[in-house]
Amino acid sequence: MMKGRHADIAILGGGLAGGLTALALAALRPDLRVLVIEAGQTCGGNHIWSFFDSDIAKEDRWLVEPLLVARWSSHSVRFARGDRTLPIGYASITGTQLDAVLDSVLPQGAILRGCPVVAVGPGHAELADGRRIEAGAVIDARGAGHFPGLVGGWQKFVGQRLRTGPHGITAPIIMDATVAQHDGYRFIYVLPLSDDTLFVEDTYYSSSPAIDRDRLAGRIADYVRALGLAVDVMGEEQGCLPVVAGGDGEAFLNAGGQSGVARIGARAGLFHPLTSYSLPSAVTMALAIARASSFAPEALTALCEQAARQHWRAGTYFRLLARMMFAAGPPDQRHRIFARFYAQGEGLIARFYAGRMTMWDRARLLIGKPPVPLRGAMAALLGGGAPLAALGAPDGSALPLDAQPPMRDISVSASPPSASLASGEPA
Ligand SMILES: Cc1cc2nc3c(=O)[nH]c(=O)nc-3n(C[C@H](O)[C@H](O)[C@H](O)COP(=O)(O)OP(=O)(O)OC[C@H]3O[C@@H](n4cnc5c(N)ncnc54)[C@H](O)[C@@H]3O)c2cc1C
């Protein structure tokens, strides 16, 4: 309990991981005083985060339940060989809803918004306005920090919330890979948010983090118009997320850390190496913290470090798949890896997303004729193949996970795509 401190636990960053941890603590440890310190004017930013039903254990769902803005009982994928509907539910939460729920659940004064943290140490944080916050323990959830020593590629995208008019789409299309392939593996992601609103994302598994926003927005407009729908843009987000294919895990986990300061979320590498999804890990970590037997800084730091190490080890197989994707074959053949994956059984697909594949699942994906040229596949498996991109900055120190600004609200109609956006060009 507090003795002359501002809080028992200060959570730096009210994004996905920090927000969920604050909610878990409020529910399971109401005796502890939690302070969330967020740089933005709201917690959660203007994001849509989605997850598969199978990602979160049934007994843990209560944590995300109040945040849900949409839920579907199935989803589909589209590849050249045909469409497939999977009876695996999918759901979305938003930053706006996270902000509102935090407000309603935490006591007044428990959230400091518009307060960037400029320095951190065990038991304290300094704010840009000069204030010093003293806390029993500090949890750093300020989003991605550094990826030194890691290699791979990027999953990059532009997503738009569109008022389309009645569209008749009843379930999310997680990957529509029937679109022209550019810049690696390209697919369109569609969420039917309401009867007349779609969220449509143009996504690339690319070796380069560069995003030509206008070109991708044009491709979204082309896609939606080809469905015979209107394109009225209500909001937009961009992302450039790391796809980790290898590197020095120990160096990465040790980089940027501070003794006595626990790290969670993307900052601790708690995301799926291949999909970059972090919501399932954020739920697990939030509940592990709220159920911790000690909130002493060293104990909390050890708990989070152990979780990050275990997550890194559990990601070995997914990094191998990422290596196959980025090192084994030509970029325009990357789609074959996902096409093969989506030909597997529903159980395997669900376990893949949740990061809980069995040994048999792992073998199944690798046996048989590889989806990429055999020589390239062998070279990639042995650590060779095409060079992988460094995921740190050129000086080897940093690359922000959310390198692009989060979704911003705009209420303009998209201009018609120009002729230069015709398919067939590189991204
Ligand atoms: C556009 C986009 C869409 C995504 N969609 C999904 C998805 O559908 N499903 C999924 O599982 N994953 C998704 N991801 C990947 C991943 O889940 C997110 O990046 C997730 O937000 C990471 O959670 P986090 O809490 O670590 O970081 P964030 O959610 O980014 O939270 C960090 C918070 O810290 C704050 N902050 C930063 N610096 C400071 C400071 N100095 N002082 C105080 N506060 C600070 C930020 O303002 C932010 O609110 C998406 C990522 C992006 C970029």
Find out whether the beta carbon of 14 lies less than 6 Å from any atom of ligand 1. yes
> For residue 180, what are the CA distances in angstroms to 129, 222, 331, 416?
50, 12, 13, 19
pLDDT tens per residue across span 261-318: 999 999 999 999 998 999 999 999 999 999 999 999 999 999 999 999 999 999 998 9
3-state secondary structure of 8: strand
Q: By alpha-carbon position, which residue is closest to atom 53 of ligand 1?
A: 239
The reply to whether the predicted model has a pTM over 0.85 is yes
- What pLDDT, on a 0 to 100 scale, did the predictor assign at position 408? 35
Find out whether the beta carbon of 40 lies less than 6 Å from any atom of ligand 1. yes
Find out whether the beta carbon of 414 lies less than 6 Å from any atom of ligand 1. no
Find the 265 Cα to ligand 1 centroid distance in Å: 8
Tell how strand 185-194 and strand 173-176 pair up: antiparallel
Q: Which residues contact 260 (CB under 8 A, 6 or more apart)?
A: 121, 122, 123, 138, 297, 298, 301
What are the residue boundaries of the structural domains of the chain, listed by start? Answer: 7-69+90-144+247-314
Find the 324 Cα to ligand 1 centroid distance in Å: 27
State which of 142, 238, 261 you would mutate to test the pocket of ligand 1, scoring each by most atoms of that ligand within 8 A of its C-beta: 142
Find the 52 Cα to ligand 1 centroid distance in Å: 18
Distance, CA of 423 to CA of 166 (rounded, Å) = 26
Q: Locate the ligand 1 atom nearest the alpha carbon of residue 18 and give its number.
A: 25
Retrieve residue 255's tokens. Answer: 């980089």
pLDDT tens per residue across span 40-52: 999 999 889 999 9
Retrieve residue 201's tokens. Answer: 């994302």
Alpha helices in 87-179 (DSSP H): 95-105
Query: Which residue has tokens 């849900």?
Result: 68
Question: Given pLDDT bands bounded at 50, 70 and 90, which one contains residue 3?
Answer: low
Residue 73, judged by CB atoms within 10 A of its CB (0-12, 13-18, 19+), counts as exposed
Rounded mean pLDDT, 312-330? 88
Find out whether the beta carbon of 237 lies less than 6 Å from any atom of ligand 1. yes
- What pLDDT, on a 0 to 100 scale, did the predictor assign at position 420? 25
Find the 333 Cα to ligand 1 centroid distance in Å: 30
Nearest alpha carbon to residue 32 among 352, 310, 292, 335: 292
Alpha helices in 292-424 (DSSP H): 297-314, 316-323, 335-341, 346-354, 359-366, 374-381
Lowest mean pLDDT among 6-20, 345-359, 387-401: 387-401
7-69+90-144+247-314, which class in CATH?
alpha beta
Q: Locate the ligand 1 atom nearest the alpha carbon of residue 159 and give its number.
A: 1
363 or 285: which leads in pLDDT: 285
Find out whether the beta carbon of 160 lies less than 6 Å from any atom of ligand 1. no
355 or 122: which leads in pLDDT: 122
Question: Given pLDDT bands bounded at 50, 70 and 90, which one contains residue 149?
Answer: confident
Please give the mean pLDDT across all residues of the chain.
87
Distance, CA of 190 to CA of 122 (rounded, Å) = 43
The answer to whether the beta carbons of residues 351 and 307 sit under 8 Å apart is no
The single-letter DSSP state of residue 61 is G
Rounded mean pLDDT, 29-35? 97
> For residue 131, what are the CA distances in angstroms to 126, 134, 258, 324?
6, 10, 20, 49
Find the 281 Cα to ligand 1 centroid distance in Å: 13
Find the 322 Cα to ligand 1 centroid distance in Å: 22
Q: By alpha-carbon position, which residue is closest to atom 18 of ligand 1?
A: 278
Residue 305, judged by CB atoms within 10 A of its CB (0-12, 13-18, 19+), counts as middle
The answer to whether the beta carbons of residues 89 and 73 sit under 8 Å apart is yes
State which of 20, 401, 404 you would mutate to test the pocket of ligand 1, scoring each by most atoms of that ligand within 8 A of its C-beta: 401
The answer to whether the beta carbons of residues 206 and 154 sit under 8 Å apart is yes
Question: Given pLDDT bands bounded at 50, 70 and 90, which one contains residue 102?
Answer: very high
Rounded mean pLDDT, 73-77? 96
Question: Given pLDDT bands bounded at 50, 70 and 90, which one contains residue 391?
Answer: confident
- What pLDDT, on a 0 to 100 scale, did the predictor assign at position 293? 96
CA 79, 237, 61: angle at the middle one, nearest 5? Answer: 75
